[in-house]
Structure 1
Amino acid sequence: MSLQAQARSSYRALLRELPRRTLSNPTTPLHIRIRELYRNPVVRETMNTETLQSRIQEAHQFAQYARAQRKYLTLVERYNPGMRMDEQEKIRLTARRVGLDLPVEAKDQKE
């Protein structure tokens, strides 16, 4: 595989692992910076092939790390569903797990 193809592959891998862009802000500063690093011909011409190869490998490693972190967070959220719940919701779900329903509390009843 040529260096250009490897660089293109690492660039795409990095972009896949970055957070999704929104329609209101299609490019983030991080996307812009990564694009500049890959498009800048001055940097590529001043580096020898070994240095360029090591930079491409670093980019692949970073993409793998970002992918692993994303999967890790997905698994933590899946196996710890109460992690982001408030205390009342945890209590309600615990009661339902053993077959009980909590009584409905009256909120701000003014007579």
Structure 2
Amino acid sequence: MASTSPTKLRALYRSFLRELPSRPLSEKSRSPLQARIRNTIASKPATSVEQTEQFLHYVKSQRIYATLLERYNPGMGMDEEERVRLTARRVGMNLPEEFAPEGSDGSSGNGGQS
């Protein structure tokens, strides 16, 4: 294969960076993953560009998959009680408020009489 243009490699590297989670500017300039990707692309320019593009496509697909999973399964990270409440609201109902007896704070409910 002919030599790979630096412009193409730079574009691939930037595409990888776009797929990674953004980092605040106050931290180190590069995460370990960013540094590893940069070193791999810089040290092995003879590596197949098609293989690199295929891996980039895989990374993009994984990001999209995670986004869709969160969008269409909103109850994934919820506890059971919250999921039941939202399910009831979805069909137009509200759950009744839970009964809390007056003596639920630890005191007996009989007003001190035995």
Change over 3 Å in CA distance of 1:38–1:98 after alignment to 2: closer
Does 2:38 correspond to 1:35? yes
Higher normalized contact order (CA 8 Å, seq sep 6+, divided by chain length): 1
Instruction: Quote the residue 1:68 is aligned against.
Output: 61
* Whole-Å separation in 2 of the counterparts to 1:75 and 1:38: 30
Q: 1:25 aligns with which of 19, 23, 27?
A: 27
Q: Percent identity?
A: 48
1:104 partner letter: E
TM-score (norm 1): 0.72
Change over 3 Å in CA distance of 1:100–1:57 after alignment to 2: same
Instruction: Quote the residue 2:92 is aligned against.
Output: 99
Pairs aligned (count): 100
Aligned partners of 1:14 and 1:60 also within 8 Å: no
Change over 3 Å in CA distance of 1:88–1:24 after alignment to 2: farther
* Whole-Å separation in 1 of the counterparts to 2:14 and 2:41: 11
Aligned partners of 1:14 and 1:62 also within 8 Å: no
Q: Per residue, is there more helix in 1 or in 2?
A: 1
Q: 2:73 aligns with which of 55, 74, 80?
A: 80
Gap runs ≥5 in structure 1: 45-51
